[in-house]
A and B are shown apart, each in its own frame.
Chain A
Amino acid sequence: MFTLLRDLRRLRREIALPRPDRGRSLAIRHVDAGSCNGCEHELTLASGPAYDLQHLGLGIVASPRHADVLLVTGAVTTRMREPLLVAYAAMPEPRRVAAFGDCALGHGLLAAPGELVGPVRDVLPVDLVIPGCPPTPEEIVTALLELCDRPVTRP
């Protein structure tokens, strides 16, 4: 255990992530609406020590009831439309939706007729787009920080 912690501390020194100069935060809930698992793997690493979403005030939370942002990956399958709407309905205001990855944006979709509802914007109002197939952890951090710095407008 000591070695693990020592290695992680050394790693953090080497990566030298900039000290955050912000007082804001975002609580993020991820919903996979039909991805290929690439977006999930990169989002997972964005929370890891090399990028560390948390130190920038960006945290993945367990429930949409705790979330400011719904981060949706994949083009929405017919089977995930309802769960996605339920998750969105559970969020407190003000709430935002980020379409994460090229499928969520409707780029180059591959699917049999009838299996997809369409890109996220066909189901929910989209506030932020994060393009990429999948977006890299650096791109994820940059995009979310931009959203974090936007002024909040109450509906």
Chain B
Amino acid sequence: MTASPATVPPARRGAAPPTAGYRERVGSLLAAGHRFAGLWVAPGGTGVRALLAAPSGAVDQVVTAPVLAGTAPSVVDLAPAAGWDEREAHDLHGVRFAGHEPLRDLVRHGELAGWTVPVQGDDAYQVAVGPIHAGVIESGHFRFHLVGDRILHLDARLFHKHRGLERFAEGGDVAHGLACVGRACAACAVTNGVAYALAAERLQGLLTTAGLARVRTVLLELERVWNHLNDVAAICAGVGLAAGNNRFSALTDRVRRLVAGLTGHRFAFGAVQVGGSALSAGGDQVRALRADLAALRREAEVSWRELVFTTSFAARLPDVGVVDADDARRLGTVGPAARAAGLADDVRACSPDLAYDGFAPVRPERAAGDVQARFEQRGLELWQSFDLLDQLLDRPLEPVRAEPGGPAAAPAKGLATALVESPRGATACAVEWDGERLRRVRLRTGSYANWPSVAFAASGNLLPDFPLINKSFELCYACADR
């Protein structure tokens, strides 16, 4: 690199612009405790931007490198979590990354050799699964490399559902961007919508009010509750425990009905808006919702205990699909999977624009990073989310608007980012805007961050255990593929 890399103002208001070179800057932020949270190509393909999420309370940073002769410096050696981001930037925008070798296909579906890691030796063979799976599952292809039943390596080829939603958002107005982000995924629709809305509001110099933070947090926690109940049902399905699967499916359905009662839609489509919330629930409705959630919690707790004491079920979970703390840190694992490995990462602990005051992440006592720990983590977070909802639903929900913060509140260069904790982990949204039209939208969901961890967790395990390992992460394909 000959030219000095350009830098842009940090994601949030008030921090001084960094000046050091791109790789040096990324390296020093990582050393200072920042976490890699996403990478995207700047409008016009002139630069590559990396988002570094601050340890709790501080300011997230965006560092930009210029693209010279189609090439940018790679940071994959500093932050292996950037692997997918750089491969995607290459496939979709043609940017090459100096030092990222081999730069394998991710979004592009080329020859087998272009995206698999060759596994050779006696008795090694491949099992190809998908894109169409045997159950009601999203489309994606898994290529297992095995000896006997033992998985040596897994190459996941996703992006069968790539719809180019981010590209389609470009050139549209802020509302069009929300529609595109909202269509990315139903299971994370609230999270993705809130992440986009927060970034878009920062761009427009709008400030979140306490009322708006509260409404959004209620929606986010309801989304987490039904997703976690769904994940417990899925883990039961992963070992063939039909009674547990049915019981938790029924609970999942009950929460989606509550979401529909509150928002008019079972996945809260349309409930998140930029600049405010139109959601309204009177005293009686909120009291009824709170009582329903309390009753649901009691039932979930009883059923949870039954699962824990069903030995044939519980014995299947420990020491399967391990991603320990060191691996999780290296791979950039987020969400329940990272906390089950003993990491304390939870965006909710540093979300001043949402109603998470005093929030402290929970971790299981035995944070072994295996299926058992990820299962237990879902339970711990369920009870925590029920507690949060009980506190938040102590008064009616009213329509609210974000407050204008004046020109001083808006970032100078038309770039803002936001991080929100989805049921699957940290979701980052970056929005670049010229004052009227969107120039770039990048949505990096918890599922996107964690897919490499699923492949990592599978290696060394038995092929028949893969459904269980996969379901202990229960990632979306839709919000990875976009």
Contact = CB atoms under 8 A, between A and B. Distances in A.
B287 interface: no
B412 interface: no
Contacts of A62: 134-135
Interface in A46-71: 47-50, 60, 62-63
A131 interface: no
A41 B310 contact: no
A120 interface: no
A112 B163 CA distance: 6
Interface string B121-159: 000000000011011111100000000000000000001
Contacts of A42: 266
A36 interface: yes
A83 B305 CA distance: 42
Interface in A24-58: 30-45, 47-50
Contacts of A83: 131-132, 139, 160
Interface string B170-191: 0000000001100111110100
A16 interface: no
Nearest to B184: A36
Nearest to A29: B132
A8 interface: yes
A114 B108 CA distance: 13
B168 interface: yes
Nearest to B252: A45
Contacts of A32: 132, 137-139, 161, 477
B476 interface: yes
A115 interface: yes
B270 to A, nearest CB: 10
Nearest to A33: B139
A133 B135 CA distance: 21
A62 B189 CA distance: 29
Contacts of A74: 161
B132 to A, nearest CB: 6
B198 to A, nearest CB: 21
Interface string A103-140: 00000001111111000000000000000011011000
Contact of B136 (A2, A4, A40, A115): A40
Contact of A1 (B168, B243, B477): B243
B246 A111 contact: no
Contact of A41 (B109, B184, B186): B186
B99 interface: no
A48 B249 contact: yes
Interface string A1-30: 111110110010000000000000000001
A116 B163 contact: yes
B246 A77 contact: no
A74 B185 CA distance: 12
Contacts of A49: 246-247, 249-250
A7 B159 CA distance: 40
A74 B184 CA distance: 12
B249 A38 contact: no
A147 interface: no
A77 B180 CA distance: 16
B165 A38 contact: no
A11 B477 contact: no
B165 A112 contact: yes
Contacts of B185: 36-37
A31 B160 CA distance: 12
A48 B250 contact: yes
A14 to B, nearest CB: 10
A4 B247 CA distance: 7
Contacts of A143: none
Contact of A37 (B160, B187, B310): B187
B302 interface: yes
B167 interface: yes
Nearest to B92: A112
B132 A133 contact: no
A91 interface: no
Given A1-B306, A48-B253, A116-B163, A110 B243 contact: no
B100 interface: no
A35 B137 CA distance: 11
A87 interface: yes
B131 A77 contact: no
A133 B167 CA distance: 23
B299 interface: yes
Contacts of B134: 62-63
Interface in B246-265: 246-247, 249-250, 252-253, 256
A40 B310 contact: no
B160 A50 contact: no
Contact of A8 (B135, B187, B246, B267): B246
A80 B250 contact: no
B478 interface: yes
9 contacts: A4-B303, A7-B302, A11-B250, A34-B160, A63-B134, A79-B162, A111-B164, A112-B165, A134-B186
Interface of B: 109, 131-132, 134-139, 159-165, 167-168, 179-180, 183-187, 189, 230, 243-244, 246-247, 249-250, 252-253, 256, 266-267, 269, 299, 302-303, 305-307, 310, 476-479
